[in-house]
Structure 1
Amino acid sequence: SSRHWGPIYVKITEAGFLQLFYEKGLEKPFREFKLEVNHEISDPKLQNYDESGRIHTIRIDRVLYREKRKYQPMPLVTHTGEREQVIKLGTIDYLDFISFISTIQNVLFHLTAIVDLSTIHQNYIEEEITVDVRDEFRGILAKGDNQLLEHSVTTHVHVLSFISGMEDCRIGLNDVLIKGNEVVSRHDIIPTTTTKWVRLHDCQFHSSVDEEAFHNSRIIVCTPLDACRFELMRFRTVFSEKTLPFTLRTMACVRGAEVELQSWVVVSTGFSSNRDSLSQVPCENVTIRHPVPPEWVNYFRRDSVL
């Protein structure tokens, strides 16, 4: 195969254009495209790069969601997405990598909501709306006692909806400012309650949200984009747990020409992000990164001998 990695310079303009240059300082990019509402970022991956190590990669895909009927073994309606790769980028610098992902997420979040006139009269067989809430935690621990020195918790709320017409949706959160004033719709079969309230800080919204309505009622009122996964809202909260989910112990030992690096993950038995024992989600995909000098990479490789 003739496919190989090549060095380029990437620039993101204020207008939301992703520009690719062969070298930094050139005026005209060799490729340019505008980020759109139906673009999504893939999960980050590590791939083989060269004899010195691996490369962090990310894709920007154009995703089209459609309603499909399946008749085997019985009639079923599903909403699935079809992905088409727009571009794939990679870097060996992890800090540049996470900075690039954050920048792309910010651009997509602030894109203007555009109504597709061809789908206004779309009638779905089964209407559906999915709300995905994820917390992004970053913290710095002190050496020795593992005390939390600095931290930030950012919550990202994504929505994917298949609703006929242009209907407004209302979403409520466990916002401490509405504690005691909860309103349960008479259409709800089982009222939902919560005993854990959070205080929202620095709320930011997608352009489809009525911000004035939120500040007056603390209810998110929006006209969601049709068949398009987008970030509806983001806000910050304070980490209020008494213990961390787990701590990490690392020890390095040098014996002549050998360097031995060991790590232990110590899980806190009393920590649970979900108090409901029936719906607890285990901690998965734990990745531990040990920054090492580039010239050390080969020492951590093990070549198999046939």
Structure 2
Amino acid sequence: SSRHWGPIYVKVNEAGFFQLFYEKGLEKPFREFKLEANHELSDPKLQNYDENGRLHTIRIDRVLYKEKRKYQPMPLVSHVGEREQVVKLGTTDYVDFISLISTIQDVLFRLPATVDLSSVHQNYIEEEITVDIKDEFRGVVSKGEGQLLEHSVVIHVHVLSFISGMADCRMGLNDILIKGNEVVSRHDIMPITTAKWVRLHECQFHSSVDEDAFHSSRTVLFTPPDACRFELMRFRTLFSEKTLPFSLRSMACVRGAEVELQSWLVMSSSFSSNKDSLSQVPCEGITVRHPVPPEWVNYFRRDGVL
């Protein structure tokens, strides 16, 4: 195969164009494309790079969602996305990697809401709307005691909808500013109450949202783009727990050419979601990243494993 990694310089301009240069300082990119509403970021991955380590990689995909019918073993309607890779990028610098992802997310979030005239009269066999909420927590803890020194909590709300015609949607949040003034629809047979309220800070919205309606009613009113996953809103909030859900302790021991690295992950019994054994949510996909000098990489290698 002729596929191989090569050094490039990446730039995203204010107009939303993604530009690739062979080196920094050149005026003309060797490739350029505009970020569009049907572009999505893949999940970040680690990939083998060379004898010195691995590469943090991410893809920008063009995703087209369609409604499909299956008849075996029984009639079934599903909404699936067909992905086509636009570009794949990688770097050994994790800080640059996170910065790149954040920049692309910001550009996609601020794209104007457009209407595909070919889908205005789309009639779906089964209408569906999916809301995906992601909590992004970043923190700095002290050495030794592991006390939380700094933290940032950003909530990202994504929506994917398959609704016939251009329908207005409303979404309510457990916003502390409406506590005591909740409105329950008469169609709700079993009204749902919440005991946990969130204070929203620095709310930002997709261009499909009626911001005036939100500020007056604290309800998110929006007209979702058809068959397109997009970030509806994002906001900051405070970390209300007294302790972190778990703590991490690491120890490195060097004996000549032998390096031993150990880590202990300890769950906190006082964290709210850890108290009730019936409502506990397992922690999955935990990754512990240790900065390792390039000279040490070979010490950690085993047969078939980095």
Change (3 A) 1:255 1:148: same
Q: Give the CA deviation at 1:280.
A: 4.4
Hey, what does 2:262 align to over in structure 1? 262
| SS of aligned partner of 2:236 | strand
Q: TM-score, normalised by structure 2?
A: 0.96
**Cα distance in structure 2, aligned partners of 1:44 and 1:34:** 21
**Cα distance in structure 1, aligned partners of 2:235 and 2:105:** 14
**Cα distance in structure 2, aligned partners of 1:151 and 1:258:** 36
Hey, what does 1:157 align to over in structure 2? 157
**Cα distance in structure 2, aligned partners of 1:26 and 1:191:** 60
Change (3 A) 1:25 1:82: same
Change (3 A) 1:273 1:134: farther
The Cα RMSD (Å) is 1.4
Q: Give the CA deviation at 1:257.
A: 2.2
Q: Give the CA deviation at 1:145.
A: 1.1
Q: Give the CA deviation at 1:64.
A: 0.6
Hey, what does 2:33 align to over in structure 1? 33
1:297 corresponds to 2:291 = no
Q: Give the CA deviation at 1:92.
A: 0.5
Q: Give the CA deviation at 1:5.
A: 0.4
Letter aligned with residue 222 of structure 1: F
**Cα distance in structure 2, aligned partners of 1:190 and 1:272:** 26
Change (3 A) 1:200 1:274: farther
Hey, what does 1:90 align to over in structure 2? 90
Q: Is the 8 A contact 2:273 2:279 kept in 1?
A: no
Letter aligned with residue 235 of structure 1: F
Q: Give the CA deviation at 1:155.
A: 0.2
Hey, what does 1:246 align to over in structure 2? 246
Letter aligned with residue 296 of structure 1: W
Change (3 A) 1:23 1:106: same
**Cα distance in structure 2, aligned partners of 1:279 and 1:260:** 37
Letter aligned with residue 176 of structure 1: I
**Cα distance in structure 1, aligned partners of 2:272 and 2:284:** 14
1:60 corresponds to 2:69 = no
**Cα distance in structure 2, aligned partners of 1:281 and 1:208:** 33
Change (3 A) 1:276 1:196: farther
Equivalenced residue count is: 304
Q: Is the 8 A contact 2:269 2:275 kept in 1?
A: no
Gap runs ≥5 in structure 2? none
Change (3 A) 1:280 1:63: farther
Q: Give the CA deviation at 1:277.
A: 6.4
Q: Is the 8 A contact 2:133 2:157 kept in 1?
A: yes
1:11 corresponds to 2:11 = yes
Change (3 A) 1:74 1:223: same
Identical counterparts, % of pairs: 82
Q: Give the CA deviation at 1:147.
A: 0.8
